Structure 1
């Protein structure tokens, strides 16, 4: 068997080196999208936890503490009680990449019917 001509030597290495930055960029974007989805789910879960606590008749401070425990770091929680519904909205700002990227705002909300009281 004859080896490849000398003009083609190293072409595979060069092509890989050219494509590698693009592959890393795609990987970074995919990891950022996964982080955003996870933060969105955390906000939605925290809102449901807080709304259920309010609907059970827990004090707002306790419902806020429970929601904060499940929310992403630095989240802001809004609690409201309508006539027949407990509503909670959880908002957070999450960075999807290195410190130089701007934060993205995400939120989650939930509404649960109030339980009948004595």
Structure 2
């Protein structure tokens, strides 16, 4: 009796475990996007060149992430990444984060 019940419940337990692992992977990637966007917005607000901003974002972002930079009086950095939470299974989730900041007066922005 116990063996049959275990055989029925085991696939359900594995599915719950896979879902939990996938959730942790997606949330971790989302947090890395948020951190990368904030880091990029801070650097852009200080007046760093776009290449430096993209380099800082690339260090903090998940692998394969793309960076969008809109610099003006208000800077906006968007980081987007595609995550495969279950490895080889064909399931992809896109996560992104945007951070904005006002350019500092010492950065020398003139409209």
Q: Secondary structure at the match of 1:17?
A: helix
Question: Normalized against structure 1, the TM-score is what?
Answer: 0.86
Separation in 2, partners of 1:75, 1:111: 18
Q: Give ranges in structure 2 of 5+ residues lacking alignment.
A: none
Name the structure 2 match of 1:114.
Answer: 103
Q: Give ranges in structure 1 of 5+ residues lacking alignment.
A: 1-10
Q: Secondary structure at the match of 1:96?
A: coil
Question: Normalized against structure 2, the TM-score is what?
Answer: 0.91
Q: Give 1:98 shift.
A: 3.0
> Is 1:78 aligned to 2:68, yes or no?
yes
> Is 1:96 aligned to 2:85, yes or no?
yes
RMSD (Å) for aligned C-alpha atoms: 1.0
Name the structure 1 match of 2:36.
Answer: 46
Structure 1 stretches (4+) deviating beyond 4 angstroms? none
Separation in 2, partners of 1:115, 1:98: 42
Aligned length: 107
